Copies of this chain bind each other. A is one copy, B any other.
Amino acid sequence: MKKFNKIAIVGVGEIGGSIGMDLRKKRLAKKVVGIGRRKSSLLKAKKVGAVDEITLSLEKGVKDAEVIILATPVFKIVELGRKLGKFAKEGAVVTDVGSTKGYIVRNLEKTLPKRVKFVGSHPMAGSEKGGPLSARRDLFKDRICFITPSPRTDIRALASVNRFWKSLGAKLVVISCEKHDRIVADISQMVHVVASSLVLSNKNSLKYSSSGLKDTTRIALSDPKLWKDICLTNEKEIVKSLDRFVETVKSFRSALTRKNTKGIRKMLAEAKSLRQGISQ
């Protein structure tokens, strides 16, 4: 496969760092440059082998890069994406890893100069821990990566971004931003709200928790700064997902108050069977 030239990663946390590690170990790029705001994070990323070079300067970092990956929280993706328009070379391909796509794609397509080609992406990977020390190899292997082209997307840039994620082993799902934001509200974003709500509504009993509650609320350990951005940029879809979920809880509640044995068993059995349909 053709090697990428210089690749710049803006934000060397768990996702950015894991991308860099794979690129380097698989020798997919001639040079991987990590760009960040804090020297301490950049040094950690360098130490774990996620990048070849580090810099605090966006201008220096993205200069001459063939591919630029924005791997920061959502609002920062838009802010830094706008800035790098000035510095990126003619034909540079820019992508991101943000969990909300409509907001990011809309804003960056509006502001990036024509010579820079933006394509949104969202790899479904990463833990609640975050940070460069959580970066690891093969994080994206066999994981879904959504690619969200729009009518304005450059076809060659789309092909590059597809090739990029495929080379990291991801399973590509190419869909519109709108559809992405609906799906991810369902399977990820509203689930975070539910997990956090479970913790908050049970604060007095938490000390008795067993593994069930612990697993169910693990994602409530995620970074509030990161998730606040996600919540605020896809709030309409999250609210729709939550409303559907609350309706389901209410059906359950009603089966409980009516002591409806058949109804309760049916809901539990259907949930079990659907859950068995996805891997562990």
Give me the interface of A with B, judged by CB distance under 8 Å: 124-125, 127, 143-144, 173, 182-184, 186-188, 191-225, 227-228, 231-232, 235, 238-239, 241-250, 252-253, 256-257, 259, 261, 264-265, 267-272, 274-280
CA distance A108 to B268 in the complex (A): 27
**Given A210-B125, A259-B235, residue A197 in contact with residue B277 (CB < 8 A):** no
CB–CB A248/B200 < 8 A: yes
Distance (Å) between the CB of A171 and the closest chain B CB?
A: 10
Once the chains are docked, how many angstroms separate the CA of A238 from the CA of B269? Answer: 19
Q: How far is the CA of A217 from the CA of B198 in the complex (A)?
A: 13
The answer to whether residues A261 and B219 also contact, given A196-B252, A256-B239 and a CB cut-off of 8 A, is no
Is B217 within 8 A of A275, CB to CB? yes
A228 neighbours in B (Cβ, 8 Å): 261, 264-265, 268
Structural contact, B192 and A212, CB atoms closer than 8 A: yes
Residues in chain B near residue A279, CB distance under 8 A = 214
Q: In the assembled complex, which residues on chain B have CB atoms less than 8 Å from the CB atom of A267?
A: 196, 200
B216 with A191: CB separation less than 8 A: yes
* A186: B residues at CB distance < 8 A: 202, 204-205
Contact of A215 with B215 in the complex, beta carbons under 8 Å? yes
- Complexed CA–CA distance, A225 and B271 (Å): 13
Contact: A212 with B198, CB < 8 Å? Answer: no
A207-B278, A271-B200, A274-B200 known; A216 and B219 CB under 8 Å? yes
Residues of B within 8 Å of A220, CB to CB, are: 268, 271-272, 274-275
